[in-house]
Amino acid sequence: MDYEAIVIGTSAGGIDALKTVLSQIEMPLSIPIIIVQHLSPRHKSYLPSIISQVTGHNAKEIDEKETLVSGWIYFAPPNFHILIEKNKTVTLTVEKRVSYARPSIDVLFETAADTYRDKLIGVILTGANHDGAKGIKCIDSYGGYTIVQSPDTAYADEMPKAAMGMIDPNEVLSLIDIGKHLNQLIKNNTSTSWENEYD
């Protein structure tokens, strides 16, 4: 299977979890990774620079109407939902909160699933609410690949447990194993749908 994108959702404890997972992913990235991390809407996010420094990967806050390209890790801006359009561009919205969150993991996962269908990998990490459960169910319904952090390795286990209550994931993995497994899934990708236009 040639996967075309990875979406990751996380909340409480997510920054450290993302450092662990993303630092294990091998360079160069053959597909884009799009991430929703719940953050305060009142403060600027420094996540892209933090992740870039820790992992060596290219990371940025995603922009309105941006086209997703391989080789990059994209983060949702504080207080904006991310919608993935059919042409693999991004729409940012300030519509009402979903699962008490904006950005919402569910919104990202559902729109990405509708676009990428069975060529999408969805990952739920640590978090203290149920955001992402409906979204990962949507990914699963399209035949996408689903990974959930094992609750006993999560800083907050509510989000992984909620996801597992919705579906039987393809994998339930400890935090230290998720990045390694993602490498295995994408290492044989032959898709060249996007080139890294930022280099």
Q: Which residue has the higher pLDDT, 49 or 192?
A: 49
Residue 160 is predicted with a pLDDT of 98
Range of the domain at 141: 5-186
The answer as to whether 172 is a domain residue is yes
Q: What positions carry a catalytic annotation?
A: 11, 38, 131
Torsional class of 61: left (φ above 0), alpha (ψ -120 to 50), beta (otherwise): beta
pLDDT digits (tens, 9 = 90+) for 41-60: 766 678 999 999 999 999 99
> CB of 83 within 8 A of CB of 93?
yes
pLDDT digits (tens, 9 = 90+) for 89-105: 999 999 888 877 889 99
The answer as to whether 141 is a domain residue is yes
State how many domains the chain has: 1
The answer as to whether 34 is a domain residue is yes
End-to-end CA distance of the chain: 27
The answer as to whether 199 is a domain residue is no
Residue type, 9: G
Instruction: Name the DSSP letter for residue 89.
Output: B
pTM for the model:
0.92
Q: Which tokens in the block code for residue 103?
A: 């950005």
We report the CATH number of the domain holding residue 160 as 3.40.50.180
